[in-house]
Amino acid sequence: MSVKSYKSLVIILAGFHIFIIACSNYLVQFPIEVIGFKATWGAFTFPFIFIATDLTVRLLGANEGRVVVLYAMLPALVISYVITTLFKSGEWLGINRLQTFDLFVFRIALASFSAYIIGQLIDIFVFNTLRRLQRWWYAPLASAIFGNLADTFTFFFVAFYKTSDTYLAENFVEIAWVDYVFKILINSIIFLPVYKLLLDQITRRFKKNHVDEND
């Protein structure tokens, strides 16, 4: 892979990480019930971060995967705080809202920051350990199981333990378990096929670019 292609891929993958984190941190404010259990809309979006991480490691390697995580985490923290502050609970609060420090929103952003680092480093370690196995799905599934476990409970404890939001403070353990189980089910049923499809498409694209650059 040429230097130009490598830089482009790093930017795309880091941007993917940032987008997923910002969306998930915003959507975690909205509670829902899944088969009678308490959860949030963030459970539908955050599993994509493990697709992004596993694709990063598969395409660039473990060390480069950690670099992408480092590139993404600070912008993701800042963007999450800004978006969630301006659109708290789906309502536009005005640009002046940024002049006031919002502890509730900051805890969500900080929790995401902490969980992202812990979860992704575990994900990278597990995935990189297993990615050379013959079955392509062993690595992404195992990394999702362990990475999501660490990420989910780190996030919900830091964000919602004794928080000002009564619903989240009283139910964050149940929400965390439902969120984790839901992530694993969605990961197994939907995201593994999506991961394979994206991996094949990206691999073909960059192989083609490599051939074109050498012609």
Segments making up each domain of the chain, as ranges: 3-208
Q: Pseudo-torsion of CA 54, 61, 63, 141, nearest 10°?
A: 30
Give the count of alpha carbons within 13 A of 166, CB side only.
0
Structure tokens at 18: 């940032």
pLDDT at position 211 is 56
pLDDT in tens, 129-163: 877 766 767 777 787 788 888 888 998 899 889 88
Q: Is the pLDDT of residue 204 over 80?
A: no
The domain made up of 3-208 is a member of CATH 1.10.1760: yes
pLDDT at position 92 is 83
Contact between 115 and 158 (Cβ < 8 Å): yes
- Mark residue 196 as left, alpha or beta (left: phi above 0; alpha: psi -120 to 50; beta: remaining): alpha
pLDDT in tens, 99-116: 888 888 888 888 878 887
Average pLDDT of the chain is 80
The pTM of this model reads: 0.68
Of 45, 71, 6, 8, nearest to 179 by C-alpha is 45
CA distance 102 to 80: 12
